[in-house]
Amino acid sequence: MVDLREFDEALREDPHPVYARLRRQGPVHRVRFPGWDDDAWLVVGYEAARAALADPRLAKDTSKIGVTVMEREMVGDHLLATDPPQHTRLRALVTRAFTMRRVEQLRPRIQQITDDLLDEMLPAGRADLIGSLAYPLPITVICELLGVPDMDRAEFRKMSTEVVAPSAAQGADDAVVRLGAYLTELIEDKRCAGPTDDLLSDLLRTTAEDGDRLSARELRGMAFLLLIAGHETTVNLIGNGIHALLTHPDQLSALRGDMGLLDGAVEEMLRYEGPVHTATYRFAAEPLEIAGTPIGKADHVVVGLTAAQRDGGRFGDPDRFDIRRDTRGHLAFGHGIHFCLGAPLARLEGRIAIGALLERAPGLALDGTPGAWLPGLLMRGMRSLPVRW
């Protein structure tokens, strides 16, 4: 047993030395997490993590072991709380509306939103990059995509942040309840208003060849997942990525000298300091082994994405930030059937935002100490990032 509660602050501020120490001892560990009542298995090795993410014996639907998750009860079924065949059915229905073509069509609008935010930000000469660009860009994009009214977005931001990085013991639960109620009302408003061109309205109408459609509960669950996962990860991609560049001036200079490296730089940002700290919960639906470690039925398994991305067995000199690195196979968006549905949108937003910022702010530099890293072990990101130019 490894009691990670003694590393609580380190896991938030700089978890990489802690995970390096664990990896030297083995790829899988029985741990006690800060703020958790029960033990769990933590996977820190790359190969073990990749295998675990794709292992069908590690399930997501807790009803299989008689456990009720409040989020699912209050919000509904979604892709991160279900297993095949339900997961297969839900993903097929959602991808009928949330297509690559739809994402690509957003490119001009994402560029416009980015330019507008930079127009507002740049004259001041300094800003908090999170509050001025990294947060408002993806929240605007996902709210416009789903059809969330402008007047609701400030309150939605508070609820969403509390869900992924709660400030108090019951903060996440209370936020989930409020979000569930809000989404119920939003969906009913769209149902009554008739067809529009936003994604949520499309999901209301989406019908498979056999006539299958999302139930009201499933629609609310998917809206919850898309709204939160659709922007929180991108906030941290942009924030963590710019922070990595500004603390590695050689890499920043290389990118400025050849913006053709931008796509690869974004992938290295995802590997080096990805936006998701650990994958969402899994449990063993039956006894199994992970990298030779026996896991008992119903045991909780946590896949450490941040830990796996710095495994030297997969990525040479893993603590070095190198925008020319071959990052193929990184796990920032997961792996297997639960691979992030919104990865193409996050990549597109990240590339546009970072590219435009570097082009329009040639003297970009840190302007003080970044804000605290987010609490909890779900998201990996900073509350603020002061910059100047």
Residue 65 identity (one-letter amino acid): I
Instruction: Give yes or no for a contact between 357 and 111, defined as CB atoms under 8 angstroms apart.
Output: no
Query: Cβ–Cβ contacts within 10 Å for residue 224, how many?
Result: 25
Q: Which of 28, 8, 237 is nearest to 18 (CA)?
A: 8
Note if the pTM is more than 0.85.
Answer: yes
Burial call 87-122: b when 16+ CB within 10 Å, e when fewer: beebbebbeebbeeeebeebeeebeebbeebbeebe
Contacts of 116 (CB under 8 A, 6+ apart): none
Tens place of pLDDT for every residue, the chain, 389 residues? 999 998 988 999 999 999 999 999 999 999 999 888 789 999 999 999 999 999 999 999 988 877 777 677 778 889 999 999 999 999 999 999 999 999 999 999 999 999 999 999 999 999 999 999 999 999 999 989 988 887 777 777 788 878 877 777 677 788 888 888 888 888 888 888 877 889 999 998 888 888 899 988 899 999 888 888 888 899 999 999 999 999 999 999 999 999 999 999 999 999 999 999 999 989 999 999 999 999 999 999 999 999 999 999 999 999 999 999 999 999 999 999 999 999 999 999 999 999 999 999 999 999 999 999 998 899 999 999 999 99
Domain that holds residue 255: 2-388
Total number of domains constituting the chain: 1
DSSP string, 166-190: -SSTTHHHHHHHHHHHHHHHHHHHH
Give the CATH number, domain containing residue 11.
Answer: 1.10.630.10
